Amino acid sequence: MYEHRHQRLLPRRAFLARVARHFAIASSLVFGSLLAGIAGYMYFENLALIDAFLNASMLLGGMGPVESPQTPGGKIFAGVYALYSGLVFLVVVGISLAPLAHRMLHRLHLEDDRAKE
């Protein structure tokens, strides 16, 4: 997927396409996670769609739920979803920054190889 350190730097157009692909993957993960959270709140807490959206998006964004869960199933779901949301945040940051970090490191390796010549 990525070029080897001895290969040339990826052209800007191809690099921007790579960034766009990574952004699409990260966005899909966030959107899918939000849908799962909405469905969970609607099922376990019998919340209306808009209230389920609010709680799921607040948890996914790291702010915490707006309404405290009332049912045992809702409490377990909220706890598991909160843990999952924390992991999703880390994964999305990693997916989003991977092409930028790779390009920076690749450029440094190319400069280092030229200095050794």
Cα–Cα distance for residue pair 31/26, rounded to 1 Å? 9
Could you say which of 1.10.8.10, 3.55.40.20, 1.10.287.70, 1.10.15.40 is the CATH number of the domain covering 19-116? 1.10.287.70
Measured at the CA of 29, the angle between CA 25 and CA 78, to 5 degrees, comes to: 170
State both tokens at 7.
Answer: 């290969």
Tokens 């405290």 -> residue = 68
Cα–Cα distance for residue pair 111/78, rounded to 1 Å? 49
State both tokens at 32.
Answer: 């899918």
Task: State pLDDT tens for residues 13-54.
Answer: 999 999 999 999 999 999 999 999 999 999 999 999 999 999
Kindly report the pTM of this predicted structure: 0.83
Cα–Cα distance for residue pair 17/24, rounded to 1 Å? 10
